[in-house]
Amino acid sequence: MNVTQEQLIDYLTAKAVQCGIPHDPDNKQKAFHIIDNPYSLAEFDEALRSFAAFPAVLMEEGEGDFSDSASANYNDTKEFALMVVDKQTNGELPRLIRSRCLEIIKKILVHIRNDSRAFAIVPGKHVNFRINDCVYTPIGPMDTVYYGYMITLRFICPFSF
């Protein structure tokens, strides 16, 4: 069986919580949202308004590609955009908010890299993650009070026919 998008989404949700995102939907503390339609600004706005805690994570599935690595192996590269955002309070400087968000992203990257080396991203599956392919960019202001960073993550998942 091949690695699915849902397995990677579950994994990224767990890593975000492990790195300080206060997401606990069982206790009505939502701080992680998957954007199903990245072309819908209404969905994006609703996600920001529905958060019960900050900092928070918005995630959307990106592009992917298939390759054969010029060998008998096949790869499915899955891309995700992870946005870590925080809410401005008491006139706090946006660069301080973004700095906090970038530190959370760095923690997430360290965990993903360690898990990749230990084959623990999806248990029982080889999922490769290269940190040198990660591009990040500042985001905000969104709705005048939300700032943060967005990073693009790529997971390389071997598969066979």
Q: 5-159 sits in which CATH class?
A: alpha beta
Which are the contacts of 113, defined by CB distance < 8 A and separation ≥ 6? Answer: 129, 131
Residue with structure tokens 């609703």?
46
Q: What is the pLDDT of residue 161?
A: 66
Residue with structure tokens 């054969």?
68
C-alpha Rg value of the chain to the nearest Å: 16
Token couple for 12: 């990224």
Contact by Cβ (8 Å): 101, 86:
yes
Domain residue ranges of the chain, discontinuous segments joined by +: 5-159
Specify the 3-state DSSP secondary structure of 80.
Answer: strand
Q: What is the pLDDT of residue 76?
A: 84
Contact by Cβ (8 Å): 32, 57:
yes
What pLDDT, in 10s, does the model give residues 76-103? 888 899 999 999 999 899 999 999 999 9
Position with higher pLDDT, 9 vs 137: 137
Average pLDDT score, the chain: 87
Position with higher pLDDT, 56 vs 2: 56
Q: What is the pLDDT of residue 83?
A: 93
pLDDT higher than 80, residue 11: yes
Q: What is the pLDDT of residue 100?
A: 95
pLDDT higher than 70, residue 69: no
pLDDT higher than 60, residue 1: no
